[in-house]
Amino acid sequence: MLEIKNLHARVDDRDVLNGIDLSISAGEVHAIMGPNGSGKSTLAYVLAGRDGYEVTEGSIHYQGNDLLDLAIEERAREGIFLAFQYPVEIPGVAGTTFLRTAVNSLRKHRGEKEFDAMQFVKYVREKQSELNITDDMLRRPVNVGFSGGEKKRNEILQMALLEPKFAVLDETDSGLDIDALKTVADGVNTLRDPNRSMLVITHYQRLLDYIVPDFVHVLAHGRIVKSGGKELALELEKEGYGALTGTQAA
Amino acid sequence: MSRQIIAEFPFVERFDELSAEFPGAGLDWLDTMRRTSLDRFNRLALPSTRVEAWKYTNLRELAKTPFEMAEASSGSASLDLSEQAAMGSESAHRLVFANGIYNASLSRLETLPDGVIITNLEDALTTHGSLVRPHLERLSSLEEDALLALNTAFMMNGYVVIVEEGIEVGTPIELLFLSDPSSPTSIHPRNLIVAGAESNAKLTEWHVGSGDSDYWSNPVTEVVVGPEAAVSHRKVQRESASAFHLAQTRVSLAGNATYTGFLMSAGARLSRCEVEARLEGDGANCELDGIYLARDHQHSDITTRIAHTEPGGNSRQVFKGVLDGHSHGVFQGQVSVSPDAQRTDGHQLNKTLLLSEGAEIDTKPELEICADDVKCSHGATAGQLDELELFYLRSRGLDAEEARQVLIRAFIAEVVESVEEGDFQDQLNTIIDDWLSNGLSTS
């Protein structure tokens, strides 16, 4: 589904990714772990297509096509989804309006009929209760005044509504207490599907107790320095990143 | 550089010839007032950018245009305009002025309650002269303002709305100024709103031009809000792309009076909407909100002056603008508080969104506070669309254009929502949608 080869990327004239190779098949959940500054979030932004994240070498193929040729929204419409580490607040835009516009732009792309307001409310209602998202949260401007947990739940709601084929979860556990973490993880697990792949980026092993990955990769200095099964996460938890990366863990 | 711009407008030179056709021609007091004002205009001339109040708005291009005056016959050409513009609502009282000339067949006056006069200036001078005269004279003698003097000298028709004490005009009143002259034409509407004590009226002005018509609209509107009275006064400026629009609204408020002004300025090549409100009675309230949208080489100036002269007054202003292309926005907001005006509460906010490298805003808030027990604030910001917000929206499937539109709408939503829900709010949204769909810079 996703094939990353020798990926180099630069942000603000600084080389952050220095040759990443990663292959993810349909239905697999991969975790990327690594200390701060190792390039985890940069990889997430490069996949989503954010401006200013310049690929200087290498390639990313998604479903056989060159992903780097696609604009941000084209990637989204082709099924790429990024759950943001810091979900963006958008004052003045009501949550429901935002979600409906997003869902409809994907439906339009797929040649499906766009939802009207009533149909959309029904569609959302099925998904929002599992994630403990109230109607009030949806009426409010996107993420404005939301707690850390609410923001992350809102990201997973978007993921549930947009039904991506490939989801990147960027430090979805950061800033969450254990209850909020469970809610979010349950939401993600519900979305696991033989046709949907995920890349779970995290600093801590804790998240992986709840979202159990098929593979774990360790990122350091913009390179994958070790790959393994889910047991690698536990090993890291015990040993720290230092042994693998040659530096002290952050 | 001089403080004056000397213009040789053909219509000004033809004053003697034209004056025989002016509304109220032959009324001695009015003829004298026009003559005095003409002399004053000739003495003052147009202000140059050396004059502080005109520092950011240059009238040189205006001064170069050979403006004539509208002929009475040109008042019939605007039927298409009123249909195209889809303005107003079905049930409103409506006065229509085409190229400055009253058009009776497009106007519509439902049965008026006792104590309400809605008419045009020409008829008002004939039938209600004693009611109109003191207001015209007071404003015209008030100050040294070239454009006001020019308007007084050449005042054509305009609307007159007089509401007697205690009367509520339930039906909204719409004033349509439609312009599509075929050669450079100057139009000088003179309007008057007088709301008696404890009365209530809602008015909406539309200034709309077609295509590329070359004209200069120079309206002056006087608004007198009596004790405990409430006036809602909305204005939409969508003049033609070649037009100049220089408007002045002068409001005076008595004790506990309320004036709610709203401005949507989206048209014209160069526009200046000037509002002066004087809170001259205890506990008067003035709320001014507005939106300015400009693109290409448009110049859009909003100038407000709020004078608190008595205690306990409130004023609130929120103006938001969106500038694209090489457009130039100006916001000058002056709030002055006299020594007697204790317990004044005055707030002003101006925010501008710049969509392109070439767009520019000059914003100048000015507070002059001479009382010690007051709450006053002002804020001004100018910024661009947020890169991260755009990325977030696009990462959810909205294309770049759609994402920008969502954020621009969100930016001005607060001002749109300050208008009560209904026809007018819907019309504002339509104007904004139209503006957005004309294409934005991609930078």
Q: How far is A83 from chain B (nearest CA, A)?
A: 10
- Establish if B418 belongs to a structural domain: no
What DSSP character marks residue B53?
G
Q: With cut-offs at 50, 70 and 90, classify the pLDDT of residue B165.
A: very high
Nearest to B341 by CA among B259, B288, B284, B425: B284
Distance between CA atoms of residues B341 and B343, nearest Å: 7
Q: How many structural domains comprise chain B?
A: 1
For residue B254, give the 3-state DSSP assignment. Answer: coil
CB contact under 8 A, B396 and A91: no
Domain residue spans in chain A?
A: 2-245
Q: What share of chain B is helix, strand, coil (3-state, %, to 5)?
A: 25, 40, 35
Q: How far is A106 from chain B (nearest CA, A)?
A: 6
Q: Which residue of B has its CA nearest to A73?
A: B397
Residues of A in contact with B432 (CB under 8 A): none
- CB of B236 within 8 A of CB of B206? yes
Looking at per-residue confidence, does B205 or B142 come out higher?
A: B205
**DSSP code at position B108:** B
Q: Touching check for A158 and chain B: CB below 8 Å?
A: yes
Indicate yes or no: CB of A50 within 8 angstroms of CB of B411: no
Q: Which fold has domain A2-245?
A: Rossmann fold (3.40.50)
In a domain, B369, yes or no: yes
Q: Say if the Cβ atoms of A73 and B398 lie within 8 Å.
A: yes
The Cα of B388 is separated from the nearest Cα of chain A by a number of Å equal to 7
pLDDT in tens, A69-112: 999 999 999 999 999 999 999 999 999 999 999 999 999 999 99
Record: contact A73-B397, CB cut-off 8 A? yes
Q: What pLDDT band is residue B111 in, cutting at 50, 70 and 90?
A: confident
Q: Taking a C-beta distance cutoff of 8 angstroms, is the pair B247, B218 a contact?
A: yes
Whether A51 contacts chain B with CB within 8 A = yes
B72, pLDDT greater than 90? no
* pLDDT of B439 over the 50 cut: yes
pLDDT at B77 exceeding the cut of 80: no
In chain A, residues with a C-beta closer than 8 Å to the C-beta of B398 are: 73, 101-102, 105
Say if B415 falls within a structural domain.
no
pLDDT band at B87 (very low <50, low <70, confident <90, very high): low
Please tell me the distance in Å from B315's CA to the nearest CA on chain A. 24
Q: Is residue B80 part of a domain?
A: yes
Tell me, yes or no, whether B46 lies in a domain: no
Q: How far is CA B257 from CA A168, B168, B262, in A?
A: 58, 14, 17
Distance from CA of A178 to the nearest CA of B (A): 27
List the structure tokens of B38: 């003409």
Task: Determine if residue A223 is left, alpha or beta; phi over 0 gives left, psi from -120 to 50 gives alpha, anything else beta.
Answer: beta
Could you tell me which of B351, B344, B410 has the C-alpha nearest to residue B383? Answer: B351
- pLDDT tens for A50-64 read 999 999 999 999 999
B36 domain residue, yes or no = no
A231 min Cα distance to partner chain B (Å): 33
Of the pLDDT bands very low, low, confident and very high (cuts 50, 70, 90), residue B82 is: low
* Of residues B388, B398, B409, nearest to A88 (C-beta): B388
Look at B410 and A91 and tell me if their CB atoms are within 8 Å.
Answer: yes
Cβ-based contacts of A106 with chain B (< 8 Å): 397
- B410 chain-A contacts, CB cut-off 8 A: 90-93, 141
Residues of chain A found within 8 Å of residue B397, distances taken between Cβ atoms:
73, 76-77, 102, 105-106, 109, 162
Quick one: B105 exposed, middle or buried, by C-beta within 10 A (0-12, 13-18, 19+)? exposed
Cβ of B396 and A76 within 8 Å?
Answer: yes
In a domain, B19, yes or no: no
Helix axes B400-416, A95-109, angle to 10 degrees: 150
Kindly report the backbone phi and psi dihedral angles of residue B172, in degrees, each rounded to the nearest multiple of 5, phi listed first.
-65, 155
Query: Are B395 and A82 an interchain contact pair (Cβ–Cβ within 8 Å)?
Result: yes
**pLDDT reported for residue B86:** 57
> How many residues are there in chain B?
443
Report DSSP letters for chain A, one per residue.
-EEEEEEEEEETTEEEEEEEEEEE-TT-EEEEE--TTSSHHHHHHHHHT-TTEEEEEEEEEETTEEGGGS-HHHHHHTTEEEE-SSPPPEEEEEHHHHHHHHHHHHHHHTTPPPP-HHHHHHHHHHHHTTTT--HHHHHSEETTT--HHHHHHHHHHHHHHH--SEEEEESTTTT--HHHHHHHHHHHHHT-BTTBEEEEEESSSHHHHHS--SEEEEEETTEEEEEE-THHHHHHHHH-SHHHHSS---
CA dist list (Å): B110 to B78, B97, B107, B133: 22, 17, 10, 26
What confidence tens digit (pLDDT) does each residue in B227-279 have?
999 999 999 999 999 999 999 999 999 999 999 999 999 999 999 999 999 99
Spatial CB neighbours of A56, under 8 Å, sequence gap ≥ 6: A8, A9, A10, A15
Range of the domain at B181: 73-385
How close, in Å, is residue B391 to chain A by CA atoms? 6
Q: Are B296 and B326 in contact (CB under 8 A)?
A: yes
For residue B391, the chain A residues in CB contact (below 8 A) are 48, 50-51, 72, 88
A contact residues 112-151, partner B, Cβ 8 Å cutoff = 141
What's the DSSP call for residue B2?
A: -
Supply the DSSP string of B263-322, one letter for each residue.
Answer: EEE---SEEEEEEEEEE-STT-EEEEEEEEEE-TT-EEEEEEEEEE-STT-EEEEEEEEE
Burial letters for B250-277: b for 16+ Cβ neighbours within 10 Å, e otherwise?
A: bbbbbbbbbbbbbbbbbbbbbbbbbbbb
The answer, for A49 touching chain B at a CB cutoff of 8 Å, is: yes
Mean pLDDT of chain A: 93
Question: What does pLDDT average to over chain B?
Answer: 93
CB pairs under 8 A between A and B: 71
Query: Counting every residue, how long is chain A?
Result: 250
Which of B391, B392, B398 has the CB atom closest to A51's CB atom? B391
Nearest partner of B324 among B393, B431, B404, judged by Cα: B404
Residue of B nearest to A52 (CA): B387
Q: What CA–CA distance (Å, rounded) separates B375 from B367?
A: 11
Measure the CA–CA gap between B83 and B75, rounded to whole angstroms.
Answer: 16
Report the pLDDT value the prediction gives residue B210, as an integer from 0 to 100.
84
- Residues of chain B with Cβ-Cβ distance to A84 below 8 Å are 392
